[in-house]
Every structure is written in structure tokens, then in C-alpha cells.
Chains A and B, each alone.
Chain A
Amino acid sequence: MFSRPLLRFVPNGTRINFMRGRFIGLATSAVLSIASVILFLHPGLTLGLDFRGGIVVEVRTQGPADFGQVRAALAAQHVDAAGVQSFGAPNDVLIRLDAPPAASADHEARTQALVDSVRHAVATLPGAQVLRADAVGASVSAELFRDGMLALGISLLMILGYIWFRFEWEFAVSAVITLILDLTKAVGFLVVTHFEFDLVMVAAILTILGYSTNDKVVVYDRVRENLRKYRTMPLAELIDLSINETLSRTLGTSMTVFLAALPLALFGASLSSFAWVMLFGIVVGTSSSIFIAAPILLLLGEKRLRRDARPPR
């Protein structure tokens, strides 16, 4: 353990013919992504407080929560009791209310005042305490949503630009197409799991995109190196060779990031859904590096990258 490695992740000198299965890989990915897009359109993402606005109050009651009592206490403060739900432990109660319609003049003030009404209601419940109380007004939630989408969009463009600058356009385009396919699957995962889509999820998705790009860069780096080294090898064979050569690294790094994110998913409290999305993204990103990014590169570059013996940049 202290000198030679005890285990080997991938045996040396694998010769797996990934490119033979490229159409199956692309088809599977396309089906999953289309399904995700359909899920995104209907039923759609569950928007979190950041993006939807309104209030969320988490309450811990003494002993198992009596929902009837909680609803009655809210009704006494003229608060709509429909938003009461259970979450986590049996003595935890989540109160979630939408913001008043933005058309009314004092909607911001009313959103903020809702929290105080809920607090007053909770104060009438013996032994109950407020764990968390958030209120986000309509103007802030609209801004947060816009900023989140901008962050996603600009990041994708910058990644495209960077890879374009460092590699040739075939690489950049296949990377970004793959990233978009990854992204749609992450969205589908969010819809299926009912995880709330908020700024933290945007952070998870951006992190996944960063890591996924990482993976692609390593494979592409090797493709570029091999293009120089083996002037006559057909591109399909060359890409296969490059994937095999980097397989151990691709899986190794994915594994360490996976291991780092796993405890967060299991014990990470409020970040657990963030970590599950990360784990999902790591698996998708790793497989897309092998089964999607490389085949797309093959499709785009079959004619061009091998057209002449000109050494790539």
C-alpha cells in the first residue's frame, strides 16, 4: 500500500472498440435528452424559492408534528394553510407560500410581512421553533433567475471559446454539443427527482459542466497528440486508441470526484440534493466523454482532421 499500488482500476493496454458502438451511444443519449426536454416542458422543473419567490419557513415542533394544529395556528393569523407540508424528520414542518401577485402595488411588502405572520403563528404552538425563514420578493426572484441563466449561457460560450482557441473548431463544437446533451439530462434528472431548481442547482450544473469539459479536454488532448504521432491512422481507430489510453485517467478522476461528492449526498443536509445532481452529472459526464464527445468529433472531423497530413496546431 505504501509502495506499489495494490489495485489497478483499468488493466494496461485495453483495446476496447468504442467507436463501433458510437451509434448506439449517440442514439441512447439522444433518446434520454429528448425525454428530458419533454419532461422539462411537462411537468417541468420544480422552481426553488430563489427563482419562484414567496416564502419558506421550516419549523421544528416538540414531538411529532400535529399538522391540524399548525394549520389552525396559521389560519388564526390569516395565513393560507395550504402550504404546510412535512419534510425530513417527523417533527419538522415546512411552510411554503407563493408571493402575492406582482401586479399589486405593495406585493413586496406583503411577501415580507407573510414571514412575520407565520412567525407569530408558530409562536402560538408550544415548544415549536423556527429553523429557517426565507422570503424572496418577486423582483429579486426574477433577477436571480435571469442571473442564473446568464451564468449558464455565458459559461457555455466561454468554454466553447476556450476549446476553440486551444483546439480546432471540430473539438469545440463537439464538446459544446456534448455539454448541452449532458445539461439536458441533468435537467431531466431534476424533473424526475423533484429536486428544487435554484441558484445552488445552477452551481451544481455549472460545476458538472466544468468537470465534464475537463474530461473532454483530456481525451481531446490525446487525440491531438496522436493525430501528430500517427499520420496515417484512420480517425476512428485513432480516437479509439486515444480513449483507451486515457481510460484509466478518465475513470480514476471521475471516481475521486464521485467519492468526494458521495458523503455530501449522504450527510450533506441542505446540500444533499445538490450533491446527488453532482453524482448524476459525474456519471453522465464521464460516459459522454467516451460515448458521445468522441463519436461527434469523429462525425465532424472524419473528412477534415485527416484530409491532409498538415500537423494540427
Chain B
Amino acid sequence: MMYYSRLKLASVVAVCLLGVLLCLPNALRQPAPTVPWRQIHLGLDLRGGSYLLMQVDMNSVTADRLRTLADGTRQALLGAGLGYRDIATDAHAGTVTFTPRTPSETEADLKTLRAMPMAVANEFAVAQRPDGAIAITLSPEAMRLRATEAVTQSIEIVRRRIDATGAVDPEITRQGDDRIVVELPGISDPERVKHLLGTTAKMTFHMVQDSALGATPGPGVSLLPMMNAPDQKLPIADHVDVDGSDLTNASAAIDQQTGEWAVDFTFDSVGARAFATTTKANVGRRFAIVLDNKVVQAPVIRSAITGGNGQISGGFDAQSATDLALLLRAGALPAPLSVIEQRSIGPSLGADSIRAGMISLGVGFGLVIVFMALFYGRFGWYANVSLLANLVLMVAILSLFQATLTLPGMAGMLLTLGMAVDANILINERIREEIARNRTPLAAMQAGFERATSTILDSNATALLAHIMLFAFGTGPVQNFALTIMIGIVTTLFTTLLLSRMLMVRWYARTRPTVLPV
């Protein structure tokens, strides 16, 4: 207890020096080859920027899946020469139901459906219901997988869209099962980003069922509104002839003939082939370009289009054409996203907060140092040395993990410093008591270290428990506060149980005092 080997001494000093080295990048502007380049990131509250919490619409993922399943069912039955009636989807139960043309076809229907690739992959189960209808139910595992995929894919698309806006250091992370957090440093007005992310941008090409014009649409046909005239509706086949995801490029351009803004696009080979086949087979009919369930335009096909190039025009201006091109290039979101929480901080408020945090940290640190020096003398100064080491190590650990620092995080550091000297105070008070009981300096110091250790561990453990809970249940800035305090508890244990104790012991060994400065 009263002896520290050279090796131990060297390793404690080495840890502190390593801490200083890790802190360095935060003080430098340019990366230097001699120091490890890992910096603390400033949080949005200090740097200015926006935070968006977005919800992925899982109901629409299910609905989409069911629509595909219903379409697939139709194709499979027709392909096998079988008929069906009353085909319907139930999003709540996750089922597609239909009634066989005649009860005698039931067996053949079931066999055909069970041979579908999706059924082979166990994505759905087929069963006959008591009323004779056939129910196709998506398996929960498959739905969960779909949902996970949808969120993962959404994150990818969100990232592409945000990158395309030129945002610097955006952070896009998943939160929980169906949420995405987007953090945009430096963007204090997120209106455009919100608009870009709030658009699904699912573009598909369908045939217009002109025969159904004016009548109630039959199965497989939906009435969709025109984008520019929502009151006007067109009967559009549900079947997707060409998918907008098969694009290689899209760009905003001015139409040479009309002088209006339009979006030019180029299909990849799959898209080009589908586009050519469809246009060739349907010359003279109307072909609808559908974006997010709205018809952008529905031109008549004059001749087969084989080049794989196309153009969309529909009353765009420069901004909306540019944004649509961006959205088409980045790809469609698998499900609509909606913002449920946004927080944005302007750069001037961020600068104010940095100043407030630094002043508080400086003044608080200074007050604690003066207090310790006045009330605990030499041992107080040792505590102050370890307090400085504590601050350095906290910054070092935050830098090492490239953690984010927010204003609450700075408060956490400050409170850690205020609390860290508690261990030194405990030891010093104990030494004082032992001296009052006429112990020798050596015995008093030994008793001080020994008795204080379990108290120090106990009190830090309870503080740690409270902050683990805060970290587990908090969000953003509050989590950051809890994180800095948890890191602070670890560095405090190191600096007080090792560093300041070692300083005291080294001093004792060097001077062999008869009276302790307590």
C-alpha cells in the first residue's frame, strides 16, 4: 500500500502522457502525422445543425407486399388456366383472399399457389377457409424480414439523397425497429431535406385502361389522380409494366420544343428492354407515368421506344425538376417516411453554447482547484494534479472513440471534476482523524488509503447505476451527459486510486516527514 514499483509508476505516467497525446488533435487545426488523428465531434447543439427523427410507415410495407402478392397470385392462376373471384387483401391480417371459380378447382389452385417461388421460400402459407375461400397468409418471419429490409434500404436511400444535396458529415442511423435518425451538421434550416426525404419517389409505368374510363374500375385497375389536377382521375392498371428503379440516370433539362422544365432519364438494360417491349405492343394506347400514386402524365404511345431514353414533363419548375431528378437517381424509398421530431440549432446559438460551456468549465475547474489548495494544502495540490489528469483523460477517451460532445456533456465533465476530489477529501479526512488519534504519519496514510477505498467504490457505484439508467432511457444530449459522467467515473477511479495516491506516497518516501500537512 505504501510502495509503488517503478514499473507501476511508469505505467501510470505513461497512461497520462498517452492521454495528453490523444487530446492533442482537438487543439490542432490540421492533421499532423505525429499525432493520432482522432477528434471529439461537436454535437449539433454546439455546432449548429439539424436533427430529424423519421418514422418508416410499416403499414405501407405490408400493403405493398400484399399488392405484389395479389398480383403474383393473379398471374400464377391465369398462367395455369385457373379462374378466381373476389380477390382481396387484408393489411391487418396480412392475407390475400380469393374464391375459386368453381369448388372443383380448389385443389388445382392450392397446388399452383404452393408451387410459387415465394411459397417455396416459406414466405406465405396457403389454406382453404371453411367458407370455401382460399387465404394466402404472409408468415410473420417473412414480414419481419421485409420490415428490417425496408428500414435498411430506406437508410441507404436517405443517405444517397442527402449526399446528393451536398450536406457535410451527415449521420444517418437506425433507431429501434422502424425509425431513422438523420443528423445534419451545419444545416440549420432542414426544410428542403425534409421535403426530399418526405417524398417516396416511387416511379412506375402502367397502361391506362381507357376501356374502363367513366366506369367503376374492375379488379386490377385503380383510379389514380393526376398530379397537377387532383380532381381528375385516370383508370390505371395495377400491373407494373416498367419499374422506375431500373434507371441509370436522371437529370433536369429544358424541353427543346416546349421550353418547359422536364426530367430526362435513361433506363438500364432491363428497363430499356421492358420499355421497348411494352411500347411496341401498345402503340396507340395511353401509357401512364405514375409517381407516388399520382399520374404525372399519360401520353399516347406513337411508336416503339427502343433507345432506353425518356422524358417526363408535367409542369415542373427548375427546383422541382432538379429535386425529382435527384430523387429518381437516388432511388425510391421502400415505404413513406415521415418526420416525427425535428430539432435545429442556428450557428450563432451553437457558438454561444460553446462559449458558455468553456467559461463554465474554466471557472468551475478554477474554483475547485482553489478550494482544494486552500483547504487541503499539499495533498490538495496532489488532488489538483490528478484533477487535471482526470480532465485530460476524459477528453482523451472521448477523442479515442471520436465521441460527440454536447453542452450537457460539458456539464457532465464539470460535475465529474467537482465530484472527483471527493475521493481525495475522503482520504485526507481519514488521515486527519488517524493523526488526531496519535498515529504515526505512515500508519495514518495507510489507514486513510485502506479505509477510504471501499467508500470510494461504493459511492461511485451508486452514481454509476443512476447514469447507466439515464443512458439506457435517455436520448441525444441526455445520453451524452450520462456518457461523459460514466467515462468520468472510470477516469476518476484511475486518477484518485492510482495517481494522486502515488503522488502522496512518493512524496512520503522522498521526505519521510514527521508531521503530515493535513
Contacts and interface: CB of A to CB of B under 8 A. Distances in A.
Contact of B377 (A3, A150, A261, A275): A3
A130 interface: yes
A210 B463 CA distance: 4
A269 B368 CA distance: 21
Nearest to B476: A199
Interface of B: 45, 53, 55, 188-189, 191, 194, 338-346, 348-349, 352-353, 356-357, 359-365, 367-368, 371-378, 380-381, 407-408, 411, 414-415, 417-419, 421-422, 425-426, 429, 432-433, 436, 451, 454-455, 458-459, 461-463, 465-467, 469-470, 472-475, 477-478, 481-482, 485, 517-518
B462 A256 contact: no
A5 B374 contact: yes
Interface in A170-205: 199-200, 202-203
B251 to A, nearest CB: 28
B473 A148 contact: yes
Nearest to B344: A133
A264 B344 contact: no
Contacts of A109: 338
Would you list the 9 A-B pairs with minimal beta carbon distance, nearest first? Answer: A260-B418, A269-B356, A263-B363, A151-B473, A210-B463, A5-B377, A210-B466, A257-B418, A214-B459
Interface stretch (A6-14, A70-78, A79-87, A231-239): A6-14
Contact of A134 (B343, B356, B422, B485): B343
Of A119, A209, A255, which is in contact with the most chain B CB atoms at under 10 Å from its CB?
A255
Nearest to A8: B375
A279 to B, nearest CB: 11
Contacts of B368: 256, 259-260
Contacts of A210: 462-463, 465-467
Interface string A1-33: 111111111001100000000000000000000
A108 interface: yes
B53 A214 contact: no
Given A4-B517, A159-B465, 10 more contacts: A12-B432, A108-B55, A135-B342, A151-B470, A202-B470, A210-B462, A214-B419, A248-B429, A256-B371, A259-B418
Interface stretch (A139-147, A292-300, A302-310): A139-147
A132 B346 contact: yes
Nearest to B474: A199
Contacts of B469: 151, 154-155, 158, 206
Nearest to B429: A249
Given A134-B343, A203-B478, A269 B189 contact: no
Given A131-B349, A249-B429, A202 B189 contact: no
A274 interface: yes
Given A203-B482, A252-B375, A260-B414, A134 B344 contact: yes
B466 A209 contact: yes
Contact of B474 (A135, A203, A221, A256): A203
A218 interface: yes
Nearest to B425: A252
B138 to A, nearest CB: 26
Contact of A5 (B348, B363, B376): B376
B426 A278 contact: no
A228 interface: no
B417 to A, nearest CB: 6
Contacts of A259: 364, 367-368, 371, 418
A290 interface: no
A245 interface: yes
A266 B421 CA distance: 22
A75 to B, nearest CB: 21
A221 B194 CA distance: 56
A136 interface: yes
A5 B517 contact: yes
Nearest to A208: B466
Contact of B342 (A4, A112, A130): A112
